[in-house]
């Protein structure tokens, strides 16, 4: 899972015991959940579902990193309205990533419903 290594200051949950600050914890937890989701997806027996889940976790990681960059830009200087225009391409990209994550997630939900329906029919 090298593509999902933690960024500085965003170690997995065990880093909390090593002195990670409370302010860093939510982002570290979020990154850990993306990694957990990847591992869960890759453990699925169906290759298509595993691949879609892996691609979705990749997109989640892109969104995570892009969000970090936007947040850093917002925090680096006073929030003048004129500055937001410079950030809008990054914000629009972030929204596109989130929209694709939603699409993949809905696809996974449909896969799950189909599997449950199939199992129900087989039980009868």
Q: What is the mean pLDDT of residues 58-83?
A: 88
pTM score, whole prediction? 0.73
From 26, 93, 27, select the one nearest 59 (Cα to Cα).
93
pLDDT of residue 17: 46
pLDDT of residue 24: 53
Instruction: Using pLDDT thresholds of 50, 70 and 90, give the confidence band for residue 118.
Output: confident
- State yes or no: pLDDT of 11 exceeds 50: no
Instruction: Using pLDDT thresholds of 50, 70 and 90, give the confidence band for residue 25.
Output: low
- State yes or no: pLDDT of 101 exceeds 50: yes
pLDDT of residue 119: 85
């Amino acid at each position: 899972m090298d593509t999902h290594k933690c960024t500085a200051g965003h170690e997995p949950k065990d880093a909390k015991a090593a002195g990670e600050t409370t302010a860093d914890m939510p982002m570290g937890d979020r990154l850990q959940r993306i990694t957990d989701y990847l591992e869960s997806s890759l453990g699925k027996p169906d290759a298509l579902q595993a691949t879609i889940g892996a691609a979705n976790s990749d997109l989640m990681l892109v969104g995570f990193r892009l969000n970090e960059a936007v947040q850093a830009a917002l925090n680096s200087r006073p929030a003048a309205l004129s500055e937001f225009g410079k950030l809008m391409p990054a914000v629009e990209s972030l929204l596109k990533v989130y929209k694709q994550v939603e699409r993949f997630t809905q696809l996974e939900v449909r896969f799950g419903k189909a599997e449950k329906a199939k199992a129900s029919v087989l039980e009868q």
